[in-house]
Amino acid sequence: MAMLRMAALSTEEPDLSKVDIQYVAGAWANVNRHGAYNDAHIHPDCDWSCVYYVDCGQPDEGWERNGLFELHDPRTLAQSSKLGGYGFARSMLIDPEPGKLIMFPSWMAHSVHPFYGSGDRVSIAANIKVTGGAHSGMG
């Protein structure tokens, strides 16, 4: 469903039953505990990536960015600007919660900050490769 919604954005098609897109996807589960994190990375040879949060554990208080998901600004040269008020080189921080789905272009660097707390943080991640269809953006 999320991939249909994403494909519909390219043509502003409101009726998802009319969206024509073909793709292949591969998914895996993540179980992260106290201290776990993911360094910034991308997913080469994919078009879209997503993560669905099943459980987020019980975060301890007092840790800045505790377990936050971060989408990094892809404009690396924007880091050279001193005009902070314009939002150059600003990343997007997302606070995961059970039931939240985050979908983003696979070329966008992303990371997960260290989680400090109890319980398991369980998520399902997927990579999607678009293979065809009228709403694929492939021309």
Residue 7 lies in a domain: no
Q: In which residue are the tokens 């990094």 written? A: 72
Instruction: Using the CB atoms, write b or e for 26-44: b if 16+ within 10 Å.
Output: eeeebebeeebebeeeebe
In the numeric block, which tokens belong to residue 127? Answer: 């990579």
Count of C-beta atoms within a 10 Å radius of residue 98? 12
Residue 13 lies in a domain: no
70 three-class SS: strand
- Distance from C-alpha of 45 to C-alpha of 107, rounded to nearest angstrom: 9
Q: Residue 106 belongs to what domain range? A: 26-125
Residue 116 lies in a domain: yes
Residue 57 lies in a domain: yes
Q: What is the pLDDT of residues 32-47, one digit of tens each?
A: 999 999 999 999 999 9
pLDDT at residue 38 in the model: 95
| CATH code where residue 37 lies | 2.60.120.620
Task: Tell me the average pLDDT across 106-111.
Answer: 95
pLDDT at residue 41 in the model: 97
Q: What is the pLDDT of residues 63-107, one digit of tens each?
A: 999 999 999 988 777 777 777 666 666 789 999 999 999 999 999
% of residues, the chain, pLDDT over 90? 65
What are the φ and ψ backbone dihedral angles of 2, each rounded to 5 degrees? -65, -40
- Name the domain count of the chain: 1
